Structure 1
């Protein structure tokens, strides 16, 4: 994307909306059709220019087992996969790109011509063919081409004039296309992304509101060419409350239990022979609440025995979120690796 000025408001809106769709897949750790089956998205970047020319609107890094790869995405309002200047430039960029890692490219748009299914058939055939000769033999057979397929093939062949014989096939096997309805007020693709996100957000969280928060953050930061992973999305979007990743849930449950035990061990009462007194410290309590309402990080200072821990225990009881205790006197272990190892769930 050159800029939102050149793309136009509608183009920018659908581009950002599609980026939010990809972010929903990232947060839910769910593959998108633009990635190999079983691949898990790891990072999402906006306006990242280290792939084929023109495919810089959205970049998604994925992992499948020990394999990592990248999808470079170009977002359009509409595009014709044919012999025209716009498509020739994109197709040639695919043919000449020498990106070292495993990669593919995608064109996403609200309207793709000629017939979308014919485009998909040709691109899938290129991916399944072992070389350009096998691909050409298949489509040189009498009666297998219709007008739409001929239009697509002519667009690729015109784009790679002067390059190697396999250039058109090489560009085709790298490319995927997606047609979406994100420009519509009642978008089915948007709703599908919200449903995917709903499986990842915390219980009771509003998936639709979180989707809009993601979209707004992307719109706000796109010009800065940001990169987000699951953790940084949560950090940058305060309203985004998500469930722990599946592989960490047992460990996180143990951390929560250990923290609850640590909080409950804090003594906040003065015990006498016939009664117990709780020090409320209303002035300090109000200051503590105000500090947490306006700051992400708050440090509580005071003399030993002045009631700091008691105030924090009271705040923890009212806090609507996770509480993690890292006081060396209240957890077993001196460093994080030792602490989690003692809990039976070591995290490096």
Structure 2
């Protein structure tokens, strides 16, 4: 991940370009190049803090700040009224983590090690929770596609808020489950991670300063990126769905994705799967509800996906449930997952 730091040169370049009045398309490209290393710095900062805060709190911080990039980008998209981009980025992050990241990890690890094993019970619990979360996330959309339009228009926003409240509650209970009543299920994995750690590289003060600075700069870059969405879709002929469901999730989580692949190559599939599926779970149960609540300060946004997004979400979760059921993975399963993702991406590209 050291090569990502070279991309930090695009941060000052993007600010200079903004000051000189560069076009929205150029700002979009520069913001993309800047967000990738900033997200990597945030991940590194939370990893360093975990040495001082302990593995449990550190793992929670890693997951939270791992999705902070997407949350910040979506905030500015909400502010600008780009609801389709926000909703498609939620769906894209979940689909990308489940299919692309898990697939790439299984492929990279499988090419080095014939068959990789992981904690089947933990993987099944996470994938089952994902299935529940996606069903809950899809209910408002199924409601709008089933009942008459006049009934839907008067009630779907309230339904979305109710679903968001339930999601947040379930997220809190899932944390209590993993950190409290059933923490023994995760003990072995945490011990393995601690044993292979080499100690912190940064002091706690330096870690916090870097994390805060990266987050603040990321907020500016996210605003640059969002302001360039409409110009770049107009100039290149891309749809907002494609930008939201493919580009933004890949850009925002590039550092996290590379970490999952590296862990798989080290035969640590438990960690790789936790990064991919755990991140997806947090996006549905935490990020999506938070965005619903934030939208109330601007214009209320409902959790209503189009039919293609619904099918892609449900299919992705069903596939990962099947793949995790045996507690083993290989390179062919990785290629299969990535192939499904490419097919879905091609579908959104031609919309």
Same fold by TM-score greater than 0.5 = no
User: Scaled by the length of structure 1, what TM-score is found?
Assistant: 0.22
Structure having greater relative contact order (Cα 8 Å, sep ≥ 6): 2
